[in-house]
Amino acid sequence: MPTHTTHSDLPMVVLVSGEGTNLQAILDNSANGSLPVTVAAVISDRSQARALARAHAADVAAETCLPAEYPDRQQYDAALIRLIDRHSPGLVVLAGFMRILSDHFVRHYRGRLLNIHPSLLPKYRGLHTHRHVLAGGEREHGCSVHFVTETLDGGPLIAQTKVIVRPDDTEVVLRARVQRQEHRLYPEVIGWFARGRVQLDGEHVVFDGRRLQAPVMLPAQEQPA
């Protein structure tokens, strides 16, 4: 596993599939000095991902690893690992990377692989979380950052932010409200990791030297519309 001797410039790779608004939040926080990381590369499984343009605009290497070019998941994931490891990252961040990763991939990056998910896990794993939250009549919703393990959307939770669900919410409105909080939560947690404040210990998250019994709740910054 690559090591970093200072906490000032943790090299990281970001995996993306789509818009890249979370990537943008990470890039912005890195550029303004509030996040002690260097985004070494952004890698997408989709050549049209807008996230790649965001990487270009920030002078960050923007690369693709396209599933159609590999016969199966194992070989795709092996190629992805090779691509990522060229950058010797101390942290790999999934930011809207919409592929299921093989156990081999997840084990390779164990303890240095983070994901953000648009729900208050363990509720609403998988896709279309905002739709399911509305259909379920929930009063609150939110986002979670967790270490990735072999269980899909089930790795140890680090932190969450809650938002209110309003009676007249649509999926689009609710997604936007959750994403505003994602853009704050993810850089915050990445900063904790980069400064050595959070680690994975077996199946448990250690935060400031103590094993977490529940995820850290980061209050929503604004009371969203």
Residues that bind ligand GAR (CB under 6 A): 16, 18-22, 51, 95-96, 116-118, 179, 182
Q: Between residues 176 and 206, which has the closer beta carbon with respect to ligand GAR? A: 176
Q: What minimum distance in Å lies between the beta carbon of 131 and ligand GAR?
A: 12
- DSSP state, 165? P
Q: Between 11 and 18, whose beta carbon lies closer to ligand GAR?
A: 18
Which listed residue (87, 117, 130, 146) is catalytic?
117
- Cα–Cα dist 157/172, whole Å: 26
Burial 161-179 (b: 16+ CB within 10 A, else e): bbbebeeebeeebbbebbb
Contact 65, 45 (CB under 8 A): yes
Cβ-proximal residues to 38 (8 Å cutoff; 6+ apart), any chain: 9, 10, 11, 12, 30
Nearer to ligand GAR, 7 or 125 (CB): 125
Within 13 Å of residue 86, how many CA atoms lie on the same side as its CB?
A: 10
- Cβ proximity to ligand GAR: between 53 and 86 the closer is 53
DSSP H or E run through 183: helix 171-194
Nearest distance from residue 51's CB to ligand GAR, in Å? 6
Shortest distance (Å) from residue 5 CB to ligand GAR: 30
- Please, which residue, 93 or 194, has the CB nearer to ligand GAR? 93
Least Cβ distance, residue 8 to ligand GAR (angstroms): 26
130 as an active site residue: the answer is: no
C-beta of residue 162 within 8 angstroms of C-beta of residue 153: no
Structure tokens at 210: 């103590």
Closest residue (Cβ) to ligand GAR? 96
The Cα–Cα gap between 121 and 114 comes to: 14
Shortest Å, Cβ 151 to ligand GAR: 13
Within 13 Å and on the Cβ side, how many CA atoms surround 46?
Answer: 14
Catalytic residues: 117
